[in-house]
C-alpha cells in the first residue's frame, strides 16, 4: 500500500511513518517543507504524482490557547488545509484518514462520548477541527475520521515530558483534578491506524488508550513510573487543584473520555490501557536519556 503522511515531523506523524514503513508499506512522509497543505495546487500535484492508496492527515494547528486570538490561522490549517487534501484525495481515489480531537465535544457529558454523539465545540481549536471533519465527510467518499485525546509520544513536547521536567525543577506542583480523559500513546494510535487503513470500514472512530484519569492522577502515575524505572529525582510535592485556579484562554472540557464503540462494532482490537501505555513509554525513554 502506498501511504502519504502529512505532519510527518510531528509527534504522531513520526510514529505513523515509522510503523507503516516497518510493515513494508511504501510511505511518503511530508512535513511543511515537502507539502504545504494550504496550497491546493501543490496538494493536487504531489498527490497526483505519488498516487497514494491512503493519506493519513496528521498535520494540524494544535495551539489550543493561541487559536482563540488566531482563529484565521487555525481554520486555515485545520479546515482549508483539510479541504485541499480531501479534494486531492478524491481526485485520485485515495482513502483519507483525518485525525481529529476530543475538543469537538463540549466536555459536559456525564458519560464517555460515543462517535455519533452531538458535537458542540467550545473553543476555536475545537471548532476548526470539527470544520475539518465536515469538509472530509463532504468532499471525500473514502474517509475515516479518528478522534483522539491527550496524546503523548517520544517525539516533540507533550504533557508527560513537561511533568517530568517540572517534577525535577520544582518543589511543589499543582495539577488540575477536575478534568478527566484518556491519555493516548502515539505508537498505539499509529498501530491502530495501520490496521484501519487496510480496510474499507469507513466512518468515525474514537481511538485513545483505554481507561480514564484526571490530569492530577495521570501526573501521579508519571512520577511513580519515573522514580521506579528512570530513577529520576522527582522532588515536587504534587497537589490537586481546580480548573478555575488555572484560567486559560481556551475553555477545557471537563470530560474528554472517548467511548470506542466503532472499534468494537467494526471488529478491531482495542488499544491497551493507558497505564500499560505509560509504562511502555517510560521504558522507551529509558533507552534514550536525551528524552528526559
Q: Considering the candidates 125, 202, 205, 216, report the single residue annotated as catalytic.
A: 125
Q: Which is it for strands 213-214 and 180-181: parallel, antiparallel or unpaired?
A: antiparallel
Are 12 and 43 in contact by the 8 Å Cβ rule? The answer is no
Map grid coordinates 511530508 to a residue: 30
| Four-CA torsion 220, 225, 230, 231, nearest 10 degrees | 60
Catalytic (active site) residue 98? no
In whole angstroms, give the CA distance from residue 47 to residue 39: 12
Start-end of H helices in the chain: 11-22, 40-50, 71-75, 81-92, 124-139, 159-169, 186-197, 215-225, 261-265, 274-286
What amino acid positions are annotated as catalytic residues?
125
Amino acid at each position: 500500500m502506498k501511504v502519504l503522511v502529512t505532519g510527518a515531523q510531528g509527534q504522531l506523524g513520526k510514529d505513523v511513518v515509522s510503523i507503516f514503513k516497518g510493515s513494508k508499506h511504501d510511505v511518503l512522509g511530508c512535513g511543511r517543507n515537502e507539502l504545504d497543505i494550504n496550497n491546493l495546487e501543490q496538494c493536487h500535484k504531489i498527490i497526483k504524482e505519488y498516487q497514494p492508496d491512503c493519506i493519513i492527515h496528521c498535520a494540524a494547528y494544535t495551539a489550543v490557547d493561541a487559536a482563540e486570538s488566531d482563529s484565521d490561522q487555525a481554520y486555515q490549517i485545520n479546515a482549508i488545509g483539510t479541504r485541499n487534501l480531501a479534494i486531492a484525495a478524491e481526485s485520485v481515489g485515495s482513502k483519507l484518514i483525518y485525525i481529529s480531537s476530543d475538543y469537538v465535544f463540549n466536555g459536559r457529558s456525564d458519560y464517555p462520548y460515543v462517535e455519533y454523539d452531538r458535537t458542540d465545540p467550545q473553543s476555536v481549536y475545537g471548532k476548526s477541527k470539527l470544520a475539518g471533519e465536515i469538509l472530509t465527510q463532504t468532499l471525500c467518499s473514502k474517509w475515516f475520521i479518528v478522534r483522539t485525546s491527550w496524546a503523548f509520544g517520544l517525539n516533540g513536547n507533550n504533557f508527560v515530558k513537561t511533568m517530568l521536567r517540572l517534577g525535577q525543577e520544582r518543589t511543589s506542583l499543582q495539577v488540575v483534578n477536575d478534568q478527566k480523559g484518556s491519555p493516548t500513546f502515539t505508537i498505539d494510535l499509529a498501530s491502530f491506524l495501520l490496521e484501519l487503513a487496510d480496510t474499507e470500514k469507513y466512518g468515525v472512530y474514537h481511538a485513545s488508550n483505554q481507561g480514564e484519569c484526571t490530569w492530577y492522577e495521570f501526573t501521579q502515575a508519571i512520577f511513580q513510573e519515573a522514580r521506579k524505572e528512570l530513577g529520576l529525582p522527582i522532588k515536587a510535592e504534587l497537589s490537586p487543584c481546580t480548573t478555575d485556579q488555572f484560567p486559560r484562554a481556551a475553555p477545557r472540557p471537563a470530560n474528554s473520555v472517548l467511548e470506542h464503540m466503532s472499534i468494537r462494532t467494526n471488529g478491531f482490537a482495542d488499544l491497551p490501557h493507558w497505564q500499560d501505555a505509560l509504562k511502555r513509554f517510560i521504558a522507551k525513554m529509558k533507552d534514550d536519556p536525551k528524552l528526559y
